[in-house]
Copies of this chain bind each other. A is one copy, B any other.
Amino acid sequence: MDAVNPEATTTDVTTSVHQLADRARRASRILKRANRDWKDRALAAMAARIDENRSMILRANEQDLASGRANGTSEALLDRLKLDGPRIDGLIAALHELAGLPDPVGRVVRGETLPNGLRMRQVNVPLGVIGTIYEARPNVTVDIAGLALKSGNAVLLRGGSAALNSNQALVAVIRDALESVSLPRDIVISVDEFGRAGADAMMGARGKIDVLIPRGGRELIQRVVTTAKVPVIETGEGNVHIFLDASADEEMAVDILLNAKTHRPSVCNTVETLLVHKDAAAAPAVLQALSAAGVRLHTDDRAAALVPQLQTIPAGEEDWGNEYLDLDIAVKVVDGMDQALEHIRAYSTGHTEAIVTSSLAASEQFVAEIDSAAVIVNASTRFTDGGQLGLGAEVGISTQKMHARGPMGLAELTTTKWIVQGDGHIRK
């Protein structure tokens, strides 16, 4: 990798990034020929090299942390940036886990022999070149490199500049690992040296990058989604609702709400708004249990009246659209299913919505009407997760409708190809 060149014009950067994408394309053609065994050996080599180079990686990470502290970066961001022994163990374990998963490439999606004798089949093949734009989390570097490799794709990485040294160290180690199993180094290429202009060049690289997957906060994802000319898979934002129906069982409702809100509040499948049917007998117990677990209740007037003994925070318009990602929940009383559905339609990000109910009719209506990636009946929203749903490794949770919706596994990093075989068939 060349050093950063602050004099580079945007055109220079575009040309350079496109050249790197072409190198990734050539590498992807060689990778396409690698069978599962070969790819799994590459993943094992990546894991081994990361293990061997811990001190170098941690030193680079320490440089980033020091710059971050000097720049007054918040503790929360520093924590996301930080690598340590256990986190590196986690990266290594994830690579080994990936090696244990089946190869998504070469699977026959459908196939048949047509009446005229033509044999046709539709087969999963790699997308080609994936681009990722992400924030200062060096774990994403390893994560995406592994997922891309296993699905037969080359990848162009643009990580947050706050993690520049960590990412450079990790990418160097990964490229050495690829070379050690006779795969091209260019399967994994960083464009970090070009800063933000590199991200812009990736977003414009139509025909050179097959798909962009932004990973990070709302602002980053929205910028990529609205700017990119390359197809994007939108992931992550989850303004998740639970509707407590009139007939909900109290114990079940308490268990589900506590789990959905407190199990891991900072992730996208945590519940953010509780809609309470006005006749739901379970409601006071649920609100008390949440409050007792340290959850701040942001309530409308009717919800506050359900628990007069509790201190609640009056909810305003901004609460209904807020993804708290913390021990906060918005609570609103609705007159019935229709009002609940209307509220969800207005504020949902299309990630996950759940209902707690004993009514078959209510569960069926909810499942039919909700237009989100996942609809859950009588279970925690935390189950919207590739690992939990049996997909193996997870690329992210897609909140869009095209290509992939909901938890994305390795198969979602592939496309298909029709293969048609004849014996001189012509069309009549």
Contact = CB atoms under 8 A, between A and B. Distances in A.
Nearest to A260: B426
Contact of A114 (B382, B390, B400, B426): B390
Interface centre among A127, A211, A423, A426 (most CB of B within 10 A): A426
15 contacts: A114-B388, A114-B389, A118-B383, A122-B406, A210-B401, A211-B401, A211-B402, A233-B402, A251-B424, A259-B427, A374-B419, A379-B421, A380-B422, A405-B415, A405-B417
Contacts of A418: 373-375, 384, 389, 405-407
A132 B111 CA distance: 30
A253 B406 CA distance: 46
B114 A422 contact: no
Interface stretch (A77-85, A164-172, A238-246, A364-372): A364-372
Interface in A131-153: none
A373 B417 contact: yes
Contacts of A370: 417
Interface residues of A, number: 69
A158 B167 CA distance: 47
A112 B391 CA distance: 12
Interface string A251-265: 110011011100100
A54 interface: no
Nearest to A112: B390
A178 interface: no
Interface of A: 29, 32-33, 112, 114, 118, 120, 122, 125, 127-128, 206, 210-211, 225-226, 229, 231, 233, 249, 251-252, 255-256, 258-260, 263, 363, 367-380, 382-384, 388-390, 400-403, 405-407, 415-427
A389 B120 contact: yes
A155 to B, nearest CB: 15
Contact of A405 (B251, B416, B420): B416
Contacts of A256: 424, 426
B369 A417 contact: no
B378 A423 contact: yes
A375 to B, nearest CB: 5
Given A211-B401, A401-B127, A426 B259 contact: yes
Contacts of A249: 424
B425 A383 contact: yes
A247 to B, nearest CB: 14
B384 A427 contact: no
A376 B424 CA distance: 11
A415 B401 contact: yes
A392 to B, nearest CB: 13
Nearest to A401: B415
Contact of A422 (B258, B376, B403): B376
Nearest to A389: B120
Contacts of A263: 426-427
A252 B424 contact: yes
Nearest to A421: B377
Nearest to A377: B421
